[in-house]
Each structure stands twice: as structure tokens, then as C-alpha cells.
A and B are shown apart, each in its own frame.
Chain A
Amino acid sequence: MKKLLITTAALALSATSLLAADVVRLGTEGAYPPYNFINDKGEVDGFERELGDELCKRAELTCEWVTNDWDSIIPNLVSGNYDAIIAGMSITDERKEKIDFSENYTQPDPSAYMALAGSSPDLAGGVIAAQAATIQAAHVTESGATLVEFASPDETVAAVRNGEADAVLADKAFLAPIAEENADLELTGDDVLIGGGIGLGIRKSDNALRDKFTAAIQSMKADGSLNELIKKWLPDSAPF
């Protein structure tokens, strides 16, 4: 037991000296292009990869990318497995009860419906697919349509293809490239504006990190570099 204590004490000493290099771990889903996805090389890529790397540079942080299932992305943040969520997560009141957000780095993004080409689905009363625990899922429930939820964005699109759902509701930036390249799918109905823009999710107790990211986002807004990223990755979104 004594030996154990000495070893832990030694570990503690060496640990404190290592702490100078600050590593911030960024958690993302990796399944939601163009926001975040895994590229051909198996690395995290997309709008948020480029944005996150730039934010870390400006805030002088060393950042590390981690992928995590969407379902457990908030529990793993609050228990400290990573330090920030950067996963296309819209700022909502419901989420704000559990975590804090940085300033938003996109405007409230248009969401769109996508259905089989030529079909004219009943968006207000039909069966609509959405990813579970998203603002779109909440919107479908409120609109009076029947909601079918899926764990990943991919499955929501597959549900429309195989007829399980009449249409899918998701961020327009995610659906637009899919509709463009697949003749059997098309965007339908009017866009809907939901959510308060996308921000980084941060633990409520971590104000210092939140303020660092917010300052970095503000500096990117001020010099126009954020707008360039938005133009490049999210052509349908409004710039700042």
C-alpha cells in the first residue's frame, strides 16, 4: 500500500509538470457532411475541421479530434471525455440546460425536406424521418407530422429511399449535395428556419474555454475568414 502511494505521488509530480502543454479535445460525429465527415484517409474533415483547426490556432490551443456517437455526445462531454462538441450542434434552450455554447459560428441554418423525385409528400401530416435528438426531430413533432427517428443521418436518407418515410428533414447543407447528385431524390416544400445557429458545446463549468472559443470566433467574424469558410462549405447558408 505504501509503495502504491509513493508511485502515485511520483506520478502526480510528473503529471503536473506535463500540464504546461494544454490539449483541448474536440468531439465530433464524423457522419454529417459538409459539417463533419470522415474523408477517404480516415480523418475528420469538413467545415468544422477547418474551422476548429483555425479557432485553435487563434486561441493558441493544441487541439485533438475525437469521434463519438451522436447519442452519447453530450453525456461524454459533461463527464469530461473531451472538452468541446463541434458537431453541427444548433444552440437550443433545451441543450442549454445541460451545456453551454460558444457564440454561434453559423447563422440559423435553413433546414429542408427531401423526398423521392416526383412525389409530393404531405409534409404536415405524413411520415417524416429525422435524426434522433436533433432540432429537426423536435420540429417534426411540433408540426403534427409523424416522426420516425434514426440514430445516424445516413439512415434518415435511406428511410426515404425505401419508402419507410415520405420525406426527411435535415440541415439543407447536408441534403442539398445528396439531392443534386441523385436523380431519384429532390428537395421539396419550403425551407424552415429552426435553431439559434451552430455553436461549440462546452461544459457549463468551463467558462474559460468557452470565452476563448467565442473570442476566436469573433475574430474570424471580424476579418471575414469565417464568411469565406461558410461560402466554401455551406453555400446555402447566410454569411455574417
Chain B
Amino acid sequence: MHKYSHPDLAKRPAIFSFCTDPDTLGQFQWLACYLTTGKHMGFYISFGTVLLLLAVTAPTALLFGFGGASAARSTFLPLRWFGKAYIAIVRGVPDIAFFLFFVIALDQGIEWLRHQVKCPDWDQPIRQGNDFVVCAAAKMPLGNAPQWIHEVYGFGLAVVTFAIVFGAFAANVMYGAMRAVPRAQLETAEAYGMTPRQTFWRILVPQMWVYALPGLGNLWMVLIKATPLLFLLGVEDIVYWARELGGAKTARFTDYPHADWRLWYFFVLLLFYLGFTRVSEIYLDRIMKKLTHGQATTGGEAQRKGAAT
């Protein structure tokens, strides 16, 4: 059967020099060559993509959550409505629907704004049936931008979407945590003559974290495993690659034919996720210990007694 590879693509040398004809190799070398194909490099890089996404998304979602929670307990009525509506609506919409439609809507919203600024004398309608047509200069990113810009933009949209979704859950957790801070603490602050703003920043916020952390830790665990949603946006994550690489390959389309190996690839992902979860648990425990220190909670009391004896 004819083996075909695109002429432009055949130029990159393999990592190991013996990888020229995989059919003749021993088992160990075959595996070494197989695991260093360009496709596998894509798989390894995607671990970095996922970690980067988490590193950027977690603080952003926390910020959204803090904003949402503060808004939801604001004394200014419209702001309170806004905060509560954000928490209720986003938590109620399924993630997958959010990722399919919200992202497209967000992208179109950005392009619509750019269209208004850049092409004021455009005479065609923007909505033509199902199509969304803006002038070429309003495209985001521009149609002729290199592929990596498209990928960075897609990644950026993913971060914003994840932050909005997880921010709503975080907002709910923090809203509860703010209410869990003992009322006596706030009354004492008022008695000392602190303004509401001072009470919020100096008394409420430092004390609420200890109540928020278990809930936020949960969210972090869920976020770690939510990354397969990325491929809906065209960002290739680890689960996409595991599925793609693990699927059965026939000799006609690859130098490395194999049966259905998805089980092995998913096993690797399992180890990755379990390891990541364990590391997260260790760090969350440490943070918890630190936050509990000196707090008017049973945990804080236990720490105080432990130090005294």
C-alpha cells in the first residue's frame, strides 16, 4: 500500500538518527522513535498549555469571584442586582453551552465593536442569514495574521470564558464566606469607629478566606479537569491529543501503525491528574494552616492551644 507524506512536511529530521525506517527497528528503538514524533511533541506541549491556562485562569477567576461577591453584598441596589444575577445566571447555564455559544458571542461582540470604529461607512448588513460578516479590518485577529496569533487569541478567549464561569462559582463561595465571618468582629470594628470601607478591607476580607478556602479548593480541583472544553475553541489540550494519538492507526497513514491504545494514553492522563490533585491538596492544606492562624474558628483555637502546650 502506498505510503504518503506531504512533501513540505518531510524535511524536519527525526530526533534519533535511527528513526528513518521504523519497520526494521527493535521494540525499544521503535518505541523511542514513536514517542518522539512531531505529533507526540504536540502532546507534550499541550501539558504546558494546560498548566499555563490554569496558572492564568485561577487568579483571574478569583478576581471575578471577588468582584461578584463584593457586588452581591453591596448596599447599592443595582450593583447588588448585577452581582446576584451574574452568580445565578452563569451557575445555571451548562458549561458546554457556555463554551459553544458564549465564546462565539464574545468574539462577535469584539468584532462588532471594532467594525463600528474601523468601518463606519460599511453599507452591508452585519447579519446575513446565519452569517456574521464584518469588514476585513475588524476581524479579530486579522484574517492574515499568522496561526500563532489565532492560537493566542483563542487561548485568551478560553481564559476569559473559564474566568467568567468559575468566577461565578467562586463568587458564590466567597459571598457565603463573607457572611460567615462572625458579626461580632464587624461590630467591634464599627465600635472602634472604622468606616464601612475600612471594616470591609481590614476586618472582613482578611477573615473570610479561611471560610472560603474549602470551597475554592474544590473549584480548583474541578477547573483542573475542565480543560478538555478547550478543544471546542480549537485549542488542543491533553485529552484531545491522548484521544488522537491513542486511536487505532492503520499502516497506510502512519509509519507507526498500532491498535487502539487510548487506554494507555488515558492511563498517563490519570497519573498526571492524580499527581496534580495530590500536589494541590498538599498546598491547599498548607494555605489552610496559614489562614487558620489566629482566627476565631475552632481550627484557629486548636492551633493556639497546640502552641501553648
Contact = CB atoms under 8 A, between A and B. Distances in A.
Contacts of B143: 22-25, 83
Given A39-B254, A49-B6, A205 B128 contact: yes
A49 B294 CA distance: 64
A34 B6 contact: no
B131 A31 contact: no
B128 A204 contact: yes
Contacts of A204: 128-131
Given A39-B253, A154-B247, A66 B104 contact: no
A69 B118 contact: no
Contacts of B37: 40-42
A68 interface: yes
- Size range of the chain A interface in the assembly: 35 or more
21 contacts: A23-B143, A23-B144, A24-B143, A34-B252, A40-B5, A43-B6, A45-B253, A62-B144, A64-B147, A67-B234, A69-B232, A76-B104, A76-B234, A80-B139, A83-B143, A180-B250, A181-B251, A181-B252, A181-B257, A203-B131, A205-B128
B100 A79 contact: no
Contacts of B150: 25, 66
Contacts of A25: 143, 150
B5 A39 contact: yes
A16 B144 contact: no
A36 to B, nearest CB: 10
A37 B262 CA distance: 17
A19 interface: yes
- Size range of the chain B interface in the assembly: 35 or more
Interface string B224-259: 000000011010100000011001101111111100
A12 B130 contact: no
B137 A15 contact: yes
A15 B142 contact: yes
Given A69-B231, A79-B107, A205-B128, A39 B39 contact: yes
Contacts of A69: 231-232, 234
Given A69-B231, A204-B128, 12 more contacts: A8-B114, A19-B136, A23-B143, A38-B244, A64-B147, A69-B234, A72-B232, A76-B104, A79-B107, A80-B139, A152-B247, A157-B248
A98 interface: yes
Nearest to A40: B37
B131 A45 contact: no
A42 B2 contact: no
B108 interface: yes
Contact of A177 (B247, B250, B255): B250
Contacts of A22: 143-144
A43 B9 contact: yes
Closest 4 CB pairs of A and B: A41-B38, A23-B144, A154-B247, A42-B38
Contacts of A66: 147, 150, 234
A2 B190 CA distance: 43
A179 B6 CA distance: 25
A232 interface: yes
Interface string A180-224: 111000000000000000000001111000000000000000000
A180 B132 CA distance: 44
B97 to A, nearest CB: 12
A50 interface: yes
Interface string A59-81: 00010101111011001101111
A12 B137 contact: yes
A211 to B, nearest CB: 16
A178 B256 contact: no
Most buried by A among B2, B111, B117: B117
B216 interface: no
B209 to A, nearest CB: 36
Given A38-B244, A81-B234, A72 B100 contact: yes
B42 interface: yes
A40 B255 contact: yes
Nearest to A23: B144
B158 interface: no
Nearest to A24: B143
Most buried by A among B128, B236, B252: B252
A177 B251 CA distance: 9
A66 B41 CA distance: 18
A177 B234 CA distance: 28
Contact of A33 (B114, B137, B253): B253
A202 to B, nearest CB: 10
Interface string B51-67: 00000000000000000
B9 A16 contact: no
Most buried by A among B12, B128, B131, B142: B131
B19 to A, nearest CB: 10
Contact of A39 (B9, B131, B251): B9
A55 interface: no
Contact of B104 (A45, A79, A177): A79
